[in-house]
Amino acid sequence: MPARSIDTAGPEETEALGASLAEGLRDGDVVLVRGELGAGKTTLVRGAARALGVSDPVTSPTFAIGNRYRGTGPLVSHLDLYRLGALDGEEPDLLADYLGPGRIAFVEWPPDGEAELAGARIAVTLEHAGGDRRTVRVEHLTPDDDLDEEKKG
């Protein structure tokens, strides 16, 4: 599926886009979230988390590496790897509690080429477009198995 770009006019629309994105996520999915400081990465994740049934406050996990939230389905993991240059110098199990079965993970500031994130399904890039406006690029990194099955049937 080709990448698509969506323009949002403010935080509410960026959250709504996150909620829309969450509708297609399933257990074990990883979403890479990129963008400059203040681009709206956590705002997008907040919208997705709300759509996944999270009622707790969703805040940037910059100083904690990650937060986990209970929703109505799989656990929602929200990681911020900004302070990590690369994962190869970190504890091998650093991300174990955040990724894998029983979780949907959103990873802000993902380092390129990391084996732990190689199976990511979607990459989202947010860019400032003036004021509260953002341009959001959504790219599917792996084939959507559900859509492939529908095409066969």
Q: How far apart are the C-alpha atoms of 83 and 74, rounded to whole Å?
A: 26
The model carries a pTM of 0.87
52, 29 contact by CB (below 8 A): no
Range of the domain at 128: 4-152
- CATH assignment of the domain containing 50: 3.40.50.300
Q: How many domains does one find in the chain?
A: 1
What are the residue ranges of helices labelled H in the chain? Answer: 11-22, 41-51, 145-152
**112 — pLDDT class (breaks 50, 70, 90):** confident
Give the pLDDT confidence of 53-109 residue by residue, as tens digits: 999 999 988 778 899 999 999 999 999 887 676 666 666 567 888 999 999 999 998
Nearest alpha carbon to residue 76 among 111, 48, 39:
48
Report the alpha-carbon distance of residue 96 to residue 53 in Å, rounded.
22
